[in-house]
Amino acid sequence: MERDALEVLARDSKKRGWWHDYGDTIPPAYADFLGLEGDARYIRTWQSMVVPGLLQTEHYARAVLEANPAAVRPERIDQLVEIRMERKEVLSKAEPARFWAIIWEPALRCPVGGRKVQRAQLEHLAIAAQMPTVTLQVVPLEVGATAGACGAFVMFGFTDSPNPGAVFLETLTSSHYLENQVELDGYGLVFEYLRSAALDPAKSLDMIAEIAAET
């Protein structure tokens, strides 16, 4: 069933999306990502170093983009920040995607953009977590080694099946999409292990509030 959904998405990939207004600021691989994100029924992500893009504030997103000049040309940062903010529409549109983010504690403690930006970002997370479409969990450092050692990833589901239809991986110079069932099952299992290791949503919000108070 997931394969059928992916084939439909592939046939629809030439439809014009809002991101086409940004021209060549968006490379083809990123356009593919935005297309999958816009069509997904659910999105699940594990992030160990930064706050997920869909939950970032404008100042935090700018700081993240400015920190990697090898991947982002300075003259395109303004547009890329706009794009990242516009992506959030998937969480509040008429039929929003269900978003489940698991974040490692160090990502919350890193003062991206400085303490003021970090504090505002943590406060925004607490607000975003109240959205009916968002589930947010934190894996505390005290857990020790986690299944997340495989690195950050994003899973997209296009049907009501709990099995993802695609997994997105990003490196400094390229992006990869996994569709092989064995690989998808592996990432699904890793996400379940991370979910079990993480604090529940209420306790995760408590930790975010504690870190914000320390900032």
- Give yes or no for residue 109 having a pLDDT over 70: yes
pLDDT of residue 148: 85
Q: Give residue limits of the domains in the chain.
A: 2-13+31-214
3-state secondary structure of 110: coil
Burial class (CB within 10 angstroms; exposed 0-12, middle 13-18, buried 19+) of 3: exposed
pLDDT of residue 11: 47
**Phi/psi of residue 100, each to 5°?**
-125, 115
Per CATH, domain 2-13+31-214 is 3.30.870: yes
Task: Report yes or no on whether pTM surpasses 0.95.
Answer: no
List pLDDT tens digits, range 189-202: 999 999 999 999 99
What's the CA gap between 164 and 95, in Å, rounded?
A: 19
List pLDDT tens digits, range 128-177: 999 999 999 999 999 988 888 889 999 999 988 888 899 999 877 778 89
List pLDDT tens digits, range 48-106: 999 999 999 999 999 999 988 776 778 888 988 999 999 999 999 999 999 999 999 99
pLDDT of residue 29: 74
